[in-house]
């Protein structure tokens, strides 16, 4: 065994070292190597993070959390080939180290330590051949800080391979295994999944393209809440299987391939904790009659069935587009829609028109648009209620977002993340309020919904049992950008009006008329000042007036300093507030916000960053949040030092709290 090991070492040394003495006058001979390392590097690191959060809830209950983490380790990176780059080209990296973490929640301490590890490997096989392959594997273990939300400890592993073929009918087969664990301190989410994908494309004709893909995924997932005493709740089983078939087509035909038929189809079945069947087919034909005149025709069929709701229907459209010189675009179309639910049907038919105008005038550039339309709609619901499943809502900041349907039944709202793997908790992650007949939701500060996240909302709403009505839509926009002064003025008028023709109305038909006027002034490079006045007249919510002022400044003060500042002010006053149940200070909403970012290059090896965010809302909704932070980056040859931290305080509807975050990272490359 020793002799054999010595022979192997000797062979490796001979293959990698090359000849000891080169022939005089001749270039050294490059012998092929079974394993070639073209480049390698690495670094050693040490980082520490401290996070604290203390808040007092309505009723006087106090919650205090602290989290201290320390990590140190070694990273290695390399790339190369085996025998020849066309045989196998690879890249690899590894991380090893030690971690220590202490979490304290209301005096209950949890301490953990262990080996820190991570890796990545990617190898491309036979890349110049008609059949090539790829194998890959990686693991990441990281803590993701989310500012005004809990930090997430993320441990993610992935392994997979794929096989590709070239030619007129290229194909792909892929298998991937993925396991992931997320720990926010209040919720632990574990999942383990397998995914298979097959894809084929048709590239035989440049004017005729098709792609077909088949994907199967199975995921085992459990979700557990962390109780106040540190114990875990019984796990919720969120496992599911998904089978999906999708196709995409594009066909260009006619003189110079000016006509085009394009579309897609999708079939999907999901089974498990969340059951869903989806079938969607969409096709659109664009027919160019001349250089300036074209028509289009489209059809859509959609089916989306879940345990709670059957939703299926279709849509057909036909229209024309006319370009008049280079300044005017005219579009007109007709549309018919049909939707069927477990609890009723919806039908509509209407006509629409749009005009877009652009003109260079003696005083500046004028742009204007006109959109108008009328639709006839009918609703039928034997139960008088409709279950809405998967309404997509984006939650920005702490601003309330109105759900699409009025008369939402109290207690029926369920909010999940986009992939249905997480159910959020009312009062912890989001708040619910009503304004007139509409329901609004918004994020809580310190909850698990991040700023700008899109969530899915399920709810039940009261609807008319039988109603036929019209919906008129009108929108006019005009903007003038002056040449003689850095000033732009703009205005917009919009009217959406639903009127009952027959049947009954439970107060679900709305009227929304709005008028907006604004001025934008740019007195200096990088500075924009905006003033707006807007009024809206509603039928189902109180009408209001709003005055807004915004300021933005963004520029480099000198070669080493850049500055970004912003501020906004909005005063909104509700009219007829008492008629809609708004009392006391709820008849208005005052919002003030500001932010600042500065970056300063101290020396050629040191960079200083500072930031501040502030928002204060009072009236119908009461929120206040301040975040002040700074960071310092130092680079001394191969050494990098990063320090950052912030302090935050916040209040929201009687809840108040504060928190701190500090992190230090040292990294030395070699």
* Residue pLDDT, tens place only, 157-186: 999 999 999 999 999 999 999 999 887 767
Range 501-530 average pLDDT = 92
Domain termination residue (choose one: 307, 334, 354): 307
In a domain, 312, yes or no: no
| SS3 category, 53 | strand
Confidence of residue 342 (pLDDT cuts 50, 70, 90): confident
Distance CA 231, CA 245 (A): 42
What pLDDT is recorded for position 573? 96
Confidence of residue 569 (pLDDT cuts 50, 70, 90): very high
Q: 206-217: per-residue pLDDT in tens?
A: 999 999 999 999
Whether the predicted pLDDT of 337 surpasses 80: yes
Beta strands 606-619; 430-435: pairing state: unpaired
Pick 59 or 631 by higher pLDDT. 631
Percentage of the chain exceeding pLDDT 90:
61
> 404 with 261, same domain?
no
Residue range of the domain that includes 143: 139-307
Pick 277 or 448 by higher pLDDT. 277
Residue with tokens 């273990």: 141
In a domain, 165, yes or no: yes
Q: CB atoms < 10 A from the CB of 39, how many? A: 9
What pLDDT is recorded for position 456? 92
> 266 with 145, same domain?
yes
Range 374-401 average pLDDT = 89
What pLDDT is recorded for position 345? 92
In a domain, 186, yes or no: yes
Whether the predicted pLDDT of 335 surpasses 60: yes
Distance CA 201, CA 484 (A): 55
Range 73-79 average pLDDT = 93
In a domain, 205, yes or no: yes
> 247 with 147, same domain?
yes
Do 396 and 451 form a contact (C-beta atoms < 8 A)? Answer: yes
Indicate the number of domains in the chain.
2
Query: Taking all residues of the chain, what is their mean pLDDT, rounded to a whole number?
Result: 88
Range 613-622 average pLDDT = 93
Pick 386 or 151 by higher pLDDT. 386
Most confident of 107-111, 144-148, 240-244, 427-431: 240-244
Pick 151 or 30 by higher pLDDT. 151
> 416 with 282, same domain?
no
What pLDDT is recorded for position 69? 85
> 247 with 154, same domain?
yes
CB burial of residue 410 (10 Å; 0-12, 13-18, 19+): exposed
In a domain, 560, yes or no: no
In a domain, 194, yes or no: yes
What pLDDT is recorded for position 151? 63
Range 113-135 average pLDDT = 90
Residue with tokens 């059957």: 310
Distance CA 399, CA 430 (A): 11
Domain termination residue (choose one: 434, 462, 490): 462
In sequence order, the β-bridge partners of residue 396 are none
Residue 545 Cα to chain centre, angstroms: 32
| SS3 category, 663 | strand
Helices assigned H by DSSP within 495-592: none
Q: CA separation (Å) from 207 to 165, 167, 250, 253, 284? A: 22, 17, 8, 7, 16
What pLDDT is recorded for position 230? 66
> 143 with 244, same domain?
yes
Distance CA 249, CA 128 (A): 28
Percentage of the chain exceeding pLDDT 70:
92
> 288 with 179, same domain?
yes
Confidence of residue 22 (pLDDT cuts 50, 70, 90): very low
Residue with tokens 């890959």: 136
What pLDDT is recorded for position 309? 79
> 179 with 300, same domain?
yes
> 287 with 423, same domain?
no
Confidence of residue 146 (pLDDT cuts 50, 70, 90): low
> 158 with 248, same domain?
yes
Range 433-450 average pLDDT = 87
Determine the Cα angle at 548 with ends 545 and 553, to 5°.
170
In a domain, 449, yes or no: yes
> 444 with 303, same domain?
no
In a domain, 554, yes or no: no
Output the DSSP codes for 274-329.
S-EEEEEEEEEEEEESSSSEEEEEEEEEEEEEESS-EEEEEEEEEEEEEEETTTEE
Nearest 10 degrees: CA dihedral of 14, 20, 21, 25?
Answer: 70
> 391 with 297, same domain?
no
Own/partner pairs for 426-431, CB < 8 Å, 24+ apart? 428/186, 430/395, 431/652, 431/653
Distance CA 327, CA 329 (A): 7
CB burial of residue 654 (10 Å; 0-12, 13-18, 19+): exposed
Domain termination residue (choose one: 462, 484, 519): 462
């Amino acid at each position: 065994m020793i002799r054999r090991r010595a022979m192997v070492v000797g062979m490796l040394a001979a293959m990698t070292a090359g000849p000891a003495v080169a022939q005089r006058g001749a270039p050294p001979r490059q012998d092929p190597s079974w394993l070639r390392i073209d480049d390698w590097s690495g670094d050693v690191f040490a980082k520490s993070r401290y996070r604290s959060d203390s808040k007092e809830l309505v009723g006087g209950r106090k919650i205090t959390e602290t989290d201290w983490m320390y990590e140190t380790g070694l990273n290695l990176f390399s790339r190369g080939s085996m025998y020849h780059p066309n045989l196998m080209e690879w890249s690899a990296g590894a991380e090893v180290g030690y971690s220590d973490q202490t979490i304290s929640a209301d005096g209950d301490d949890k301490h953990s330590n262990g080996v820190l590890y991570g890796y990545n490997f990617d190898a491309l096989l036979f890349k110049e051949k008609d059949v090539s392959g790829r194998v890959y594997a990686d693991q990441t273990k990281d803590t993701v800080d989310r500012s005004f939300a809990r930090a997430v400890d993320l441990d993610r592993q992935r392994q997979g391979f794929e096989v590709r073929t070239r030619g007129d009918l290229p194909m792909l087969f892929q298998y991937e295994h993925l396991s992931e664990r997320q720990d926010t301190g209040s919720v632990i989410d574990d999942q383990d999944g397998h995914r298979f994908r097959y894809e084929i494309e048709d590239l035989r004709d440049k004017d005729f393209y098709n792609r077909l893909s088949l994907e199967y995924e199975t995921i085992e997932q459990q979700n557990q809440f962390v109780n106040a005493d540190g114990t875990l709740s019984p796990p919720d089983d969120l496992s599911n299987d998904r089978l999906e078939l999708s196709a995409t087509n594009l066909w260009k035909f006619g003189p110079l391939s000016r006509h085009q038929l394009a579309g897609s189809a999708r079939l999907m079945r999901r089974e498990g904790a969340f059951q869903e069947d989806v079938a969607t087919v969409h096709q659109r034909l664009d027919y160019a009659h001349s250089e300036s005149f074209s028509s289009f025709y489209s059809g859509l069929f959609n089916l989306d069935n879940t345990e709670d709701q059957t939703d299926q229907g279709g849509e057909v459209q036909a229209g024309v587009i006319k370009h008049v010189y280079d300044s005017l675009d005219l579009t007109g179309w007709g549309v018919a829609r049909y939707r069927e639910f477990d609890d009723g049907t919806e039908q509509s038919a209407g006509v629409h028109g749009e005009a877009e105008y652009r003109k260079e005038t003696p005083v500046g550039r004028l742009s204007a648009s006109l959109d108008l339309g009328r639709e006839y709609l009918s609703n039928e619901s034997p139960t008088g209620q409709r279950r809405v499943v998967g309404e997509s809502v984006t939650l920005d900041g702490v601003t309330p977002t109105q759900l699409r349907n009025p008369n939402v039944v109290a207690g029926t709202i369920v909010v999940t993340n986009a992939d249905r793997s997480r159910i959020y908790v009312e009062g912890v992650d989001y708040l619910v309020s009503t304004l007139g007949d509409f329901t609004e939701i918004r994020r809580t500060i310190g909850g698990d919904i991040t700023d700008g996240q899109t969530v899915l909302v399920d709810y039940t709403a009261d609807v008319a049992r039988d109603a036929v009505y019209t919906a008129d839509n009108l929108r006019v926009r005009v903007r003038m950008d002056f040449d003689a002064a850095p000033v732009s003025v703009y205005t917009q008028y919009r009217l959406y009006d639903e009127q009952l023709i027959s049947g009954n109305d439970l107060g679900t038909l709305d009227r929304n008329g709005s008028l907006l006027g604004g001025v934008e002034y740019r007195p200096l490079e990088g500075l924009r000042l905006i003033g707006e006045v807007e009024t809206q007249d509603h039928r189902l919510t109180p009408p209001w007036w709003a005055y807004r002022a915004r300021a933005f400044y963004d520029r480099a003060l000198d070669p080493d300093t850049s500055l970004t500042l912003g501020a906004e002010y909005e005063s909104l006053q509700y009219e007829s507030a008492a008629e809609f149940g708004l009392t006391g200070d709820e008849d208005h909403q005052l919002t003030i916000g500001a932010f600042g970012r500065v970056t300063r290059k101290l020396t050629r090896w040191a960079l200083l960053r500072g930031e501040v965010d502030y928002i204060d809302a009072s009236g119908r909704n009461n929120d206040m949040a301040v975040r002040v932070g700074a960071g310092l980056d130092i680079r001394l040859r191969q050494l990098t030092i990063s320090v950052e931290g912030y302090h935050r305080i916040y209040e929201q509807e009687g809840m108040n709290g504060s928190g701190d975050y500090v992190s230090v990272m040292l990294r030395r490359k070699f």
